[in-house]
Chains A and B, each alone.
Chain A
Amino acid sequence: MSGAQKLKRRSVLARVLEARGDALVVSSLGTSTYDLFAVSPAAENAYFWGAMGLAVPAGLGLAIAQPARRVLVVAGDGDMMMSIGSLSVIAAQAPENLSILILDNEIFEETGAQPGLSASRADITQIALGSGFEKTMVARGEDDVAKLAGFLFAQPGPVLAVAKIGPSSDEPVFPSMDGPELVHTFRNAVLGNS
């Protein structure tokens, strides 16, 4: 990536989510949650505020529960590395409606931009392939970004894309921090009066 302008995380996410249709979206804690709320606020969003590493497994549980809906998990590289074993679980279950987008800034941005493991030798798409995923892609430039939505939404899953993004330059915006309200809002939208 030396010298190249890195992708802007919110514009990448906005372009992907323009095509979300009726997809359910799960975001990992921190900047992924802020960005999802900023670019595509919806009752069908499941925002994480904690439990680092569990956004991807939650996406699998949701995909199993709602097989007729596309489920997209938007997770940071640190969150993904923390639950990297769940890629093997997903590959074994092979949910056709599950897509994963990793916003990979190669740092722990929330805690002071310490380097993450994907800044070193770890390659998340290669780990996904080794875990049994058959479809992965990496987005580094605008040409790749144009293909992301189709990759994530227009083919059977499970699929995983990594977008190599720069650090956030946007003001954080926050969805509700009321846990039961978040669940109630989501379940009402997806299940009707529950």
Chain B
Amino acid sequence: MSQAPAQADDGWSEQVYSLIKEAGISLVTTVPDAGLTRLLNLCSADENIRVVTLSTEEEGIGMAYGAWLGGTRALLCLQSSGTGNCINGLALPAFTKSPCLMLVTMRGQEGEGNPAQLPMGRAVRPVFEAMGVTCLEAVTKEDVAAFFKQGADMAFRDGRAVAVLIAQQVIGMKSFSK
């Protein structure tokens, strides 16, 4: 099974894009992932959303904090392997009780074709939860929008760090066969 073409309707990106607008998010930071392509393209095409490519995911934690100080709502989009790059930075939203909303496409779950993805994939939830990040995992494409809305509400209303995880079975497995 290979991943769907980037522009095909994946059953969740359009909904999440609408919820980004509804939540008043105007800054999207990312180290991209194949599974995020459609959503990032939708955001990039929107003149009211600024999409910023990062050198490492941790910068997105800092940018979200600075944006919040200045009255702007941000979203960090990342692959699960990048969650480990954020750990010490997550002290910032925890210490200040500031919003930190993340959308994570999972690797390293059942059916993963690259064993190097397994350790971080397995560690996302326990490590994030140890840093005070609430994890909401969507295991079907129908779950994604509902969890994203819930996560955005928790982040911006309550000043929390929240990660909406999209399970690998929703995204599709990356094929390593030639």
Contact = CB atoms under 8 A, between A and B. Distances in A.
Interface stretch (B11-19, B40-48, B70-78, B121-129): B70-78
Contact of B62 (A24, A65, A83): A83
A46 B63 CA distance: 13
Of the listed residues B61, B62, B97, the one surrounded by the most CB atoms of chain A closer than 10 A to its CB is B62
A80 to B, nearest CB: 13
Nearest to A87: B55
A62 interface: yes
Contact of A64 (B56, B72, B88): B72
B129 to A, nearest CB: 19
Nearest to B54: A89
B164 to A, nearest CB: 20
B85 to A, nearest CB: 11
Interface stretch (A50-58, A111-119, A133-141, A148-156): A50-58
A181 to B, nearest CB: 9
Interface of chain B: mostly helix, strand, loop or mixed: helix
Given A183-B68, A183-B69, A61 B54 contact: no
Interface residues of B, number: 32
A14 B15 CA distance: 50
Interface in A53-101: 53-66, 83, 85-86, 88-89, 92-93
B92 interface: yes
Given A64-B27, A85-B56, A51 B61 contact: yes
Given A85-B59, A89-B54, A61 B96 contact: no
B95 A62 contact: no
B59 A190 contact: no
A179 interface: yes
B70 A62 contact: yes
Contacts of B91: 50-51
Nearest to B92: A51
B77 to A, nearest CB: 15
B67 to A, nearest CB: 4
A190 B69 contact: yes
Nearest to B71: A191
B52 interface: yes
A61 B92 contact: no
Contacts of A55: 62
Nearest to A53: B58
A26 B135 CA distance: 30
Nearest to A51: B92
B98 interface: yes
B149 interface: no
Contacts of B55: 85-86, 88-89
Nearest to B88: A51
Contact of B97 (A54, A61, A179): A179
23 contacts: A46-B66, A50-B91, A51-B88, A54-B65, A55-B62, A57-B66, A58-B63, A60-B52, A61-B63, A61-B65, A61-B70, A61-B72, A62-B69, A64-B67, A64-B70, A65-B69, A83-B59, A89-B55, A93-B52, A179-B95, A179-B97, A183-B68, A187-B71
Per CB-CB distance, the 4 closest pairs between chain A and chain B, nearest first, are: A65-B70, A61-B66, A85-B55, A57-B62
Interface of B: 27, 50, 52-56, 58-72, 74, 88-89, 91-92, 95-98, 159
Interface of A: 24, 26, 46, 48-66, 83, 85-86, 88-89, 92-93, 179-180, 182-183, 186-187, 190-191, 194
